Every structure is written in structure tokens, then in C-alpha cells.
Amino acid sequence: MMVRHGNIFPHQLNILLWVSVSPACSCLDAPGSYKAGYAICRSADFNSWEYVPDHRGETVYSTETGESKEITAPGDYPENTTTIAPLTPYDKWDGEKWVTDTEAQHSAAVEAAEAQRQSLIDAAMASISLIQLKLQAGRKLTQPENTRLNAVLDYIDAVTATDTSTAPDVIWPELPEA
């Protein structure tokens, strides 16, 4: 019994496959010779070979956000990117180079100094929490406890009075010894 595939018998199918089918995405013409910095790719219309800039493995930086990205495909550099890395998180692209936004950098430093101030105050308060508990319970403090309490309160006053507008060059007072 002979099984048909459409209008073709099996023995004809083998002949047609042998004669007319070539591997998918194959080309009969050879690509050109190697050229440094380029990949040899088939043209968009699949009629010829063309040299395409090859930046694969290179890192570029967004001129809008400064974020890095690795190039993974042949072709020109993506739009709004540069191969020049920003030096700080506060750099802005001026069309030719990165320029540090010193105002934003200073604002961030002041914000960090204010967070540091709060952290120092929290640590100082934690260091006298037992003394505070004794006072809340109506107990009398020993002379060393009284001295420690006053030293830490003076320290908290000094930290609170510290000028953070000079950040990042803030000089913090030393926490008194326990």
C-alpha cells in the first residue's frame, strides 16, 4: 500500500528533499574577510554580507541616568550612551563629558550627616538607658552614674549643635567613656 503526502508519493519526497532543501538560514556566498572591530552579518534583505560595528563585551553608560550596560549584540552604540564612565553618582552628561553636580552632591552629604547625627544621638541615648530607667523608678543615682548622665547629655547637646552644612567635613564630638 502506498501512502500519499498531498500530491507527492514517498519516493518522490526523498528526491525533492535531496534536490531542493538547504539548511535553514544558510547562504550560498561566503562572507568577506575579517575586519577588526566589525562583525560580518547578512544584510536586512538577506542578499549580501555587510560589516556591522561590533562592540560586544564593551560597557556603555546612559547619558541620562549614568547606569552601566554591557553591549551584547553587534551594531552601533545605543542612543544616549557613552563609553566614558561617570566618576560620581552625582555626575550629569553635558554632551561631551560628565560634570559633577556639586549642589546635589553637597545636599546628599548634608542629608547623610543629619542621619549620622541622629545615629549618634540614638547611640548616646541607648548608653544611658539604664540610668534613665533608674530615674523613672524614682531611685537615686550614684555619683558615677550622675557624672555619666551629665557627660552624655552634654555630648548630645554638642552633637545637636554640630553644623552639618559643612558636610562631608563635619567634625563630630567624641562620645564620653562609659
* Tens-place pLDDT, residues 115-143: 999 999 999 999 999 999 999 999 999 99
| Percent of the chain's residues with pLDDT above 90 | 76
What confidence score (pLDDT) does residue 121 get? 98
Measured distance CA(33)–CA(51) in Å, rounded: 10
Domain count, the chain: 2
171 within some domain = no
176 domain-assigned? no
Lowest-pLDDT range, 14-18, 59-63, 137-141, 145-149? 14-18
- Assigned domain for 12 exists: no
- Is residue 146 domain-resident? yes
Domain that holds residue 83: 38-100
Q: Of the residues 100, 121, 149, which one is the last residue of a structural domain?
A: 100
pLDDT score for 26: 76
For residues 106 and 96, membership in a common domain is answered with no
Residue 17 CA: distances (Å) to CA of 7, 21, 22, 24 = 15, 5, 9, 13
Determine the average pLDDT of the residues in 46-58.
94
Are 57 and 96 in a shared domain?
yes
Residue at 24 is within a domain: no
* pLDDT-based confidence at residue 20 (cuts at 50, 70, 90): low
**Averaged pLDDT for residues 76-104:** 97
Query: 55 lies in a domain?
Result: yes
Instruction: Report pLDDT for 79.
Output: 96
Please report, in angstroms and rounded to a whole number, the separation of the first and last CA atoms in the chain.
Answer: 102
User: Same structural domain for residues 49 and 92?
Assistant: yes
Q: What is the pLDDT at residue 27? A: 80
DSSP tally for the chain: helices H, then strands E: 4, 7
Looking at the fold, whether 162 and 107 belong to one and the same domain comes out as yes
Q: What is the H or E stretch that residue 62 is in? A: strand 59-62
pLDDT band at 22 (very low <50, low <70, confident <90, very high): low
Same domain, 113 and 62: no
Confidence check: pLDDT of 103 > 90:
yes
Average pLDDT, the chain: 89
Task: Indicate whether 58 belongs to any domain.
Answer: yes
Confidence of residue 28 (pLDDT cuts 50, 70, 90): confident
What pLDDT sits at residue 2? 54
